Amino acid sequence: TNRASHQSHGLRLQPGDPELSLLSLLDMGFTDSQAQRIYEDTSKLRGGSAACKHALSTLTALFVLGLNPSSVLKLLEKCPELYTVRESLLQQRIGNLRKLGLVEGSLQRVVSHFPQIITVPVKTVKSMVMFLREKCLFTVQQVTDILRDTPAVVLENTDKLEYKFQYVYFRMGVKQAEMVKSRLFRYTLDEVRSRHSFMERRGLYQTPDKKGQTIIINPKLDSILNVDQDTFLTDVAKASAEEYEVFRRLLAREWQEEERLHGTVEAD
C-alpha cells in the first residue's frame, strides 16, 4: 500500500522533471508565502541544483507519509539537512522505521517532532535498537514505544545510555515496562539522579533488596519524572525550592569529586 500511495503522489510531480520551481511548490499545495520560503531556503543550500534535486524527492517522501504542507514546512525549518538527503537513503530510513513498528500515525508524529530521525543512517538506528534489545532487555514492542516517544534516543551515546539504564534499573529498582511508560529517555541522567537522590535522602525512596522488596512504598518513576519542578517539590518530595536548589549544587560537587576519584562513563 505504501508503494501505491507513493505512485499516486508521484504522478502529480511529473516524474523526470527534477526542477524545483515555485510553480511546482504551489502545485504541491503550499501557499504563495510557504512556497517562497522553501524556494529561498533551498537556493541558499550548498550544492546548488544537486541539493534542489534532493529537495524535490524529500518533499515527495514527506507528502507520501501523509503530512500536510504546513507541517512539512515546519519540519524542514527545524531540520534543513533533510533537503540534501538522497532519495534512496530517505526511502531506506523510512522503510526501516516502519519495519521497527512505527506504523502510520506514529511514524508521522515521530517525523514531525523529530525530523532528524531521517538524517540518521539505518546502521546507527539498527545498532541502537540492538543495544536496547540486548543490553537493556527491552522487548520488541518496548523498543517501538521508545522510538515513538523518545526518537532522539537514536543519537545518544550508548555508554551514557547504559549508565542511565543501569542507574534506574539497579539503584531505583525500576523495570523496563515502567521505564518506557515514564518516557525515561526524555530526561538527562542529571535530572533523573537529582530527583531520585533527593527523594532517597529524604527517606522517600528506597533501593529494593535482592527480593525486590522495600520497607516503604516507592513512588512510581512516572510521578517523579513527568511533573514540573514545582509539582515535584510540593506533591512528591514535599520540600522547599530552596532545599532542592542547594541540594543540586551539593550533588553536582559530590559527582565532580566522585568522577575525579573513580572516573565514570558519563564524563564527556
Q: Which amino acid is at 97?
A: L
Q: Binding other proteins by CB under 8 A: which of 113, 120, 133, 163? A: 163
The HSE-up count of residue 217 (CA atoms within 13 Å, CB side) is 3
Q: Which amino acid is at 52?
A: C
Contact set for other proteins, span 67-126 (CB under 8 A): none
Q: Dig out the grid coordinates for 165 from the structure.
A: 539504564
For helices 87-99 and 106-113, give the axis angle rounded to 10 degrees: 130
28-36, 117-125, 183-191, 236-244 -> range binding other proteins (CB under 8 A): 236-244
Q: If binding is defined by CB under 8 A, does position 232 make contact with other proteins? A: no
Q: If binding is defined by CB under 8 A, does position 134 make contact with other proteins? A: no
What is the CA angle 245-263-173, rounded to 5? 65
Minimum CB distance to other proteins smaller for 9 or for 171: 171
Minimum CB distance to other proteins smaller for 82 or for 136: 136
Q: What is the DSSP string of 43-65?
A: HHSTTTHHHHHHHHHHHHHHHHT
Give the closest residue to 184 by CA, choosing from 109, 132, 116, 233: 132
87-95, 177-185, 196-204, 224-232 -> range binding other proteins (CB under 8 A): 196-204
Q: Which amino acid is at 17?
A: D
Report the nearest approach of other proteins to the CB of residue 166 (Å). Answer: 5
Q: If binding is defined by CB under 8 A, does position 253 make contact with other proteins? A: yes
Report the nearest approach of other proteins to the CB of residue 248 (Å). Answer: 10
Minimum CB distance to other proteins smaller for 98 or for 160: 160
Q: If binding is defined by CB under 8 A, does position 170 make contact with other proteins? A: yes
Q: If binding is defined by CB under 8 A, does position 246 make contact with other proteins? A: yes
Contact set for other proteins, span 198-217 (CB under 8 A): 198, 201-204, 207, 209-210
Count of H-run helices and E-run strands, the chain = 15, 0
**Residues counted in the chain:** 268
The Cα 129–Cα 146 span in angstroms is 10
Number of residues forming the site for other proteins (CB under 8 A)? 26
For other proteins, the binding residues (CB under 8 A) are 163, 166-167, 169-171, 198, 201-204, 207, 209-210, 238-239, 242-243, 245-247, 249-251, 253-254
